C-alpha cells in the first residue's frame, strides 16, 4: 500500500543502477502501474554514491564502447575518459532519473518482507533512518535491486607521513594506489612479477587492464607482499603468517566485497514461512534462482543482480538490463490491465520447484570447465 493505504503494484528495493533500470522500464511499459523505489542511502546511485574513495572510476572501458556502461535506452557516447570517473557516472545516473525523482524515497531501509497468502500481497517493513521510525507498505510485486558493492566512506587526509598497509590487490586497490603514489613507469618491477602472475585461470577474476597500478609499484615507498593471512600486532604494526612484521599506521581493506551474501541483512519470508536467506545458506552451492530472478516458494518476488546474472569481466549493466527485460515480460500477466483495460490479470506469479532445479542443473553443466569455476582461493 502507498501512504494512503492502497496497495502498490510494485515495490523496488534499491535506487542503484539496477533499481533505476527497473523503474525507468516499468514506467515506460506499464504507464498506469503504481510503484515506488526505496533506498537506505542518502542519495541515489547505489555503489556510485556510496563508494567515494580517491580515483574511483569504472573498471571497464566506457568511452570507446559507450554501450558497455550506459543503458541501451539511455546511451551516453560522451564519456570524457576511457574509464569514466565516479562523479561522471553519478551525473549520468542523475540525468536519466529526472522523471523518477517523485518515486524514489531515500533514507528508507528495508528490514523485512513477508508474503501474505490470504491477500497475495507482499508486506514490506521499512525503517526511516532519519527518524528511526518503522512503517509498512504493501504491494503485488516485490523487486529487490540492492546490489552488493557498498562500503563505509573513509577520511582522505590521514595518509601523509604514515605507514599505510593495503589488504587486497584487485580493482579497488588498482584505482586508489596510483592516487597515493605518483609514477610514470608502465610495467611492474621485475621482482614483483611472480607475485602478480595469477595462480588461477585468467578471467576467473576481473583482469586489471590499467597500467597505472603497475607503475605505482616502482615508487620506492611501495612494497608488494604476498601473504595468506595478516594479524594486528599493535596499534601501529601488523604481522603475517611467517612472523614478519610491518609498520602500519593505517590499514586500508581492499580485499573485495561479500558478494555471496545476497539480500543481506533484510529478511524475506515466502510461502509456509520459508526464509530465503536460510534456504540459500543451507545449500552447499549457495544462492540460486530460476533465470537468476525467481525463487520457488516466493511468489511475485523478482531479483536483480541475482545468482548467475552478472559477468565478472564485463559490464554489470548488460546483465541487469537483460534481467529487467525478462521480468517485465513476466509482469505482463500481472499488470496487463495497466496497458489494456480489458486485459485480465493474474493475482501472482511463481516458478515451480522443478523448473528452478532444471535451470540450475543446466547452468552447472554449462559452467563445468569454464574459468568461473576454477579455484581462486589463493
Cis peptide before 194 (omega within 30 of 0): no
Give whole-number Cα distances, 235 to 163, 231, 251, 254, in Å: 12, 11, 11, 20
Give yes or no: residues 330 and 280 share one domain. Answer: yes
Task: Among 231, 253, 275, give the residue marking a domain's end.
Answer: 253
How many helices and strands in the chain, by DSSP H and E? Answer: 9, 13
- Say which residue, 1 or 285, is predicted with more confidence: 285
* Least confidently predicted of 14-23, 112-121, 124-133, 154-163: 154-163
Mean pLDDT, all residues of the chain: 82
Question: Would you say residue 159 lies in a domain?
Answer: no
pLDDT category of residue 239 using cuts at 50, 70 and 90: confident
Give yes or no: residues 89 and 189 share one domain. Answer: no
Give yes or no: residues 46 and 126 share one domain. Answer: yes
Looking at 152-275, list the stretches that DSSP marks H as alpha helix, in order from N- to C-terminal side: 171-180, 193-196, 212-216
Question: Would you say residue 378 lies in a domain?
Answer: no
pLDDT category of residue 181 using cuts at 50, 70 and 90: low
For residue 377, which of 199, 166, 167 has the smallest C-alpha distance? 199
State yes or no: pLDDT of 10 exceeds 80: yes
Question: Would you say residue 3 lies in a domain?
Answer: no
Give yes or no: residues 138 and 16 share one domain. Answer: yes
DSSP SS3 for 228? coil
Give whole-number Cα distances, 23 to 17, 97, 168, 271, in Å: 10, 9, 35, 26
Cell output for 73: 535506452
Question: Would you say residue 2 lies in a domain?
Answer: no
Question: Would you say residue 156 lies in a domain?
Answer: no
Question: Would you say residue 55 lies in a domain?
Answer: yes
| Residue indicated by cell numbers 500481472 | 334
Task: Among 232, 253, 274, give the residue marking a domain's end.
Answer: 253
What CATH number did the domain enclosing 33 receive? Answer: 3.50.50.60
In this structure, are strands 133-144 and 121-128 parallel, antiparallel, or unpaired? antiparallel
pLDDT in the model for residue 315: 80
Question: Would you say residue 98 lies in a domain?
Answer: yes
What is the mean pLDDT of the segment spanning 223-252? 78
> What is the spatial distance between Cα 39 and Cα 49, in angstroms, rounded to a whole number?
12
pLDDT in the model for residue 155: 40
Q: Is 277 exposed, middle or buried (0-12, 13-18, 19+ CB in 10 A)?
A: middle
Cell output for 356: 528452478
Cell output for 20: 533505476
Give whole-number Cα distances, 226 to 12, 17, 195, 241, 377, in Å: 42, 35, 7, 11, 13
Give yes or no: residues 281 and 236 share one domain. Answer: no
Give yes or no: residues 133 and 270 share one domain. Answer: yes
HEC string of 295-352 equals CCCCCCEEECCCCCCCCCCCCHHHHHHHHHHHHHHHHHHHHHHHCCCCCCCCCCCCCC
Q: Is 326 in contact with 293 (CB distance < 8 Å)?
A: yes
Residue numbers of the domain that contains 205: 164-253
pTM tops 0.85: no
Give whole-number Cα distances, 51 to 63, 122, 150, 251, in Å: 21, 31, 6, 17
Cell output for 309: 546474472
Give residue-wise pLDDT tens across range 131-169.
Answer: 999 999 999 999 999 876 554 433 444 555 665 656 666
Amino acid at each position: 500500500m502507498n501512504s494512503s493505504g492502497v496497495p502498490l503494484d510494485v515495490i523496488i528495493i534499491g535506487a542503484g543502477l539496477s533499481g533505476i533500470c527497473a523503474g525507468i522500464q516499468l514506467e515506460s511499459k506499464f504507464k498506469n502501474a503504481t510503484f515506488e523505489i526505496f533506498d537506505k542511502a542518502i542519495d541515489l546511485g547505489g555503489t556510485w554514491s556510496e563508494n567515494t574513495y580517491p580515483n574511483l572510476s569504472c573498471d571497464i572501458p566506457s568511452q570507446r564502447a559507450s554501450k558497455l556502461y550506459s543503458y541501451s535506452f539511455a546511451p551516453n557516447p560522451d564519456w570524457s575518459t576511457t574509464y569514466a570517473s565516479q562523479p561522471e557516472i553519478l551525473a549520468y545516473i542523475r540525468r536519466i532519473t529526472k522523471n523518477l525523482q517523485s518515486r524514489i524515497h531515500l533514507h528508507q531501509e528495508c528490514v523485512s518482507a513477508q508474503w501474505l497468502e490470504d491477500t497475495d500481497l507482499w508486506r514490506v517493513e521499512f525503517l526511516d533512518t532519519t527518524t528511526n521510525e518503522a512503517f509498512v507498505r504493501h504491494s503485488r510485486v516485490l523487486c529487490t535491486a540492492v546490489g552488493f558493492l557498498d562500503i563505509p566512506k573513509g577520511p582522505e587526509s590521514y595518509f601523509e607521513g604514515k605507514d599505510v598497509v593495503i589488504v587486497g590487490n584487485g580493482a579497488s586497490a588498482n584505482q586508489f594506489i596510483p592516487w597515493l603514489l605518483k609514477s610514470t613507469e608502465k610495467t611492474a618491477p621485475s621482482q614483483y612479477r611472480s607475485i602478480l602472475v595469477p595462480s588461477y585461470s585468467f578471467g576467473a577474476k576481473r583482469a586489471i587492464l590499467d597500467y597505472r597500478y603497475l607503475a605505482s609499484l616502482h615508487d620506492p615507498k611501495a612494497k608488494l607482499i604476498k601473504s595468506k593471512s595478516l594479524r594486528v600486532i599493535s596499534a601501529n604494526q601488523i604481522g603475517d603468517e611467517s612472523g614478519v612484521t610491518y609498520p602500519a599506521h593505517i590499514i586500508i581493506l581492499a580485499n573485495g566485497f561479500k558478494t555471496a551474501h545476497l539480500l543481506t541483512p533484510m529478511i524475506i519470508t515466502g510461502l509456509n514461512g520459508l526464509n530465503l536467506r536460510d534456504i540459500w545458506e543451507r545449500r552447499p552451492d549457495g544462492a540460486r534462482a530460476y533465470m537468476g530472478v525467481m525463487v520457488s516458494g516466493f511468489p511475485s518476488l523478482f531479483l536483480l543482480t541475482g545468482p548467475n546474472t552478472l559477468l565478472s569481466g564485463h559490464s554489470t549493466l548488460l546483465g541487469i538490463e537483460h534481467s529487467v527485460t525478462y521480468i517485465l515480460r513476466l509482469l505482463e500477466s500481472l499488470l496487463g490491465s495497466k496497458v489494456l483495460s480489458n486485459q485480465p490479470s493474474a493475482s501472482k506469479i511463481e516458478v515451480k520447484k522443478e523448473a528452478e532445479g532444471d535451470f540450475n542443473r543446466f547452468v552447472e553443466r554449462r559452467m563445468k570447465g569454464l574459468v568461473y569455476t576454477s579455484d581462486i582461493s589463493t
